[in-house]
């Protein structure tokens, strides 16, 4: 029983997210800090419909996502990630965190951003 419990605890701890999930207000605060890169992980088409000012577009659904991220992003900076609803960006944040990036994911994505009446650019 103890072995089972220890195994369960170890697996649970290893499965936890390696990045921080934050709400729109916290995300807004973070992206205004120095040494932060904002990354939109939606498709190019979604990005063109409207995105956060200054956001890089690296589609997490495309082959070569990690390679492109490594070519574009510094591990010395915090990577503030978002997508449409927060699901794809959570996947991307986890993938990047495994590569050694410090990532912050916006819960609710650009949908939450717009709902909070925050500005987007086209």
Annotated catalytic sites, by residue? Answer: 83
- DSSP E strands in 29-114: the ranges are 36-40, 56-57, 78-82, 102-106
Taking phi over 0 as left and psi of -120 to 50 as alpha, with beta for the rest, 64 belongs to left
Q: Torsions phi, psi of 20, nearest 5? A: -100, 135
């Amino acid at each position: 029983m103890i072995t089972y419990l220890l195994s369960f605890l170890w697996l649970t701890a290893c499965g936890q997210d390696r990045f921080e999930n934050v709400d729109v207000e916290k995300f807004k605060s973070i992206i205004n800090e120095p040494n932060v890169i904002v990354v939109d992980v939606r498709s190019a088409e979604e990005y063109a419909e409207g995105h956060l000012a200054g956001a890089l577009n690296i589609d997490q659904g495309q082959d070569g996502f990690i390679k492109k991220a490594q070519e574009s992003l510094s591990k010395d900076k915090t990577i503030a990630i978002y997508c449409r609803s927060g699901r794809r960006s959570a996947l991307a944040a986890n993938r990047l965190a495994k590569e050694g990036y410090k990532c912050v994911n916006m819960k609710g994505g650009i949908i939450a951003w717009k709902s909070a009446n925050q500005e987007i650019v086209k």
